[in-house]
Chains A and B, each alone.
Chain A
Amino acid sequence: MDKKKVKLRLENISQSYVVNNKVFDAVSDISLDVYDNEFLVILGPGHCGKSVLLNIIGGLEKSVEGNTYLDGEKLVGSDKRIGMVFQKLALMPWKTVMGNVEFGLQMAGVNKDIRRETAQKYIDLVGLKGFEKSYPNQLSGGMKQRVGIARAYTNNPEILVMDEPFGQLDAQTRYSMEEEVQRIWQQEKRTVIFVTNNIEEAVYLGDRIVLLSECPATVKEIYDIDLPRPRDTIDPKFLSIRKEISENTDLAL
């Protein structure tokens, strides 16, 4: 068995805030290894610690304690090697789909033709071919999320972090997006850290599931999901894992 390469390491991460003259602990001493090209799901109850953890990984917040290491190198601030897909409102309404997707490369000063080509590849990958000139307010919720994913991919990050990207979508769209993400990931493999509060989604997508506790967030348990892809949500093995996890959490489905 190959020793899997550690892509991202979180070491003793703690985060707390001073709110109304009281200290509020959001994350308490989380240590975690994320392996290269794995699809890691972080599962936890709503609004406590998950997004904070992601922000720390993405360099949008500085943790009170602890460090993150990418390929052994300590991370300081935002790093282009870590791309993020946000839950909502992440598209620039004044830019077209193409404009949004190529934004990162534009920031990096990449030549226009190369930029366009790369962006087009990922627009096609997420299934939005033909919508390059559309504006965000002409797109549905699911389509907007796809643009977000395409944009993140276009920057060619080494790690893709997704912060509950389907939280705002209706159930049907959510299922189809889960399939999409799964498909895209299999086609263009890279390390993904995916955050959700939905157990079914977690089991469907993840190679491993990190279960977080209630506030302050700590690692409660880590599950290895060894099912073949694409997964069948009514497969008995799937359901038993799902049951196991749900009993272990205080989450309602």
Chain B
Amino acid sequence: MDQPKKKFSNEERIAFVQNQKRKSQYFLAMLSVIGVLGFFLIWQISVSTGLLSEKFLASPLAIFNLFVVKLTDPAPDGAVLGVNVLASLQVSLTGFLLAIIIGIPLGLLMGWYRGFDSFMRPVFEIIRPIPPISWIPLTIVWLGIGLQAKAFIVFFSAFVPCVINAYTGIKQTNPVLINVAKTCGASNFTIFRKIGIPSSMTMTFAGIKVALGNAWATLVAAEMLSASAGLGYMILMGRQFARPDIIILGIVVIGIIGTLFTAILNMVENKVLGWKKL
């Protein structure tokens, strides 16, 4: 009996699987797009039909319009949208970077060296639950009203997840790997660097993502402290001058930039932690 002829060649089968994958990815992407568009559609319809008062909730079209206008129009807050975005980025990214630079090493060291943990923990636990906004009055006195003060408020909200995640991450280090390093003749500090820190990367990264989200979200609070420009300031001015559309524009821009941050961090994570996806 002859062997039945194969229905497809290997090349065809590979091409077929790749095609299926592409289609599935496309489908999922389309669902996401529909989700977003659907949301905007419902919003637009609600405002157009008067279900939601135009006074308090401008329609998506109006917001988009305002977005374009605001790119060049400084009213009512006194700065064009680009200036506000840059001012806000400056504040949040400064606070965020400080949080990473201080928070992650702190968490890693606390997780690795028990003595250091006992030393730092009480102070950390006291500071942890304090909401960033409540620091504002003291911050004015200590750090004034410039970038340092605002970045400090942001720092606070971003600092905590960095520490906690780095700590938890390094605590999860596989003890067998520690033993491997020991038998290779490594010192405790070397093991900390070569085994502990890489082991903690997954959780640390998660912490960084949360930290960035917090930093960006605390922005409005920070700009309430004092500001001459920024998205939070723009929102405050929208409130001051009965411009709910400005308020919404501010919120939307804050949301969009937040999404961009997440996307960027995901790309970085894929580079650093690429081995996880294999």
Chain A positions near chain B (C-beta within 8 angstroms) = 58-60, 78-80, 82-84, 86, 88-90, 92-94, 103-104, 107-108, 135, 137-138, 151, 155
Contact = CB atoms under 8 A, between A and B. Distances in A.
B177 A90 contact: yes
Contacts of A60: 179, 182-183
Contact of B201 (A86, A94, A104): A94
B78 interface: no
A106 to B, nearest CB: 8
6 contacts: A59-B182, A86-B179, A90-B180, A104-B185, A107-B194, A137-B276
B184 interface: yes
Contacts of B201: 94
Contacts of B174: 89
A86 B194 CA distance: 19
A72 B135 CA distance: 65
Contact of A107 (B176, B179, B186): B186
Nearest to A89: B176
A93 B183 CA distance: 18
- The binding surface of chain B is classed by DSSP as helix
B177 A84 contact: no
Contacts of A103: 180-181, 184, 194
Given A89-B174, A92-B177, A94-B198, A135 B184 contact: no
Q: Interface residues of B toward A: which range?
A: 20 to 34
A36 B190 CA distance: 31
Contact of B278 (A59, A79, A138, A151): A138
Given A92-B177, A94-B275, A107-B190, A83 B183 contact: yes
A79 B176 contact: no
B195 interface: yes
B182 A78 contact: yes
A79 B275 CA distance: 31
Among B182, B183, B198, B276, the one with the most A-chain Cβ atoms within 10 Å of its Cβ is B183
Nearest to B190: A107
A86 B174 CA distance: 12
B188 to A, nearest CB: 11
Contacts of B181: 103, 107
A89 B176 CA distance: 7
Nearest to B185: A80
B278 A137 contact: yes
A113 to B, nearest CB: 20
B185 A108 contact: yes
Contacts of B186: 107
Given A78-B185, A94-B201, A107-B190, A84 B180 contact: yes
A84 B177 CA distance: 11
A79 B180 contact: no
A56 B18 CA distance: 53
The 8 closest A-B pairs by CB, nearest first: A80-B185, A104-B184, A84-B183, A78-B182, A135-B275, A107-B184, A89-B176, A94-B198
Contacts of B176: 86, 88-90
Contacts of B185: 78-80, 104, 107-108
Nearest to A135: B275
Nearest to A106: B194
Contacts of B198: 92, 94
Contacts of A155: 184
Contacts of A82: 183
B183 to A, nearest CB: 4
B75 to A, nearest CB: 52
A83 B177 CA distance: 13
B224 to A, nearest CB: 42
Nearest to A152: B183
B150 to A, nearest CB: 37
A32 B275 CA distance: 44
Contacts of A86: 176, 179-180
A129 B181 CA distance: 24
Contacts of B276: 93, 137
A107 B195 CA distance: 11
A60 B179 CA distance: 7
Interface in B254-278: 273, 275-276, 278
Given A94-B273, A104-B185, 5 more contacts: A78-B185, A80-B184, A86-B179, A92-B177, A103-B180
A92 B201 CA distance: 12
A132 B90 CA distance: 44
Contacts of A104: 184-185
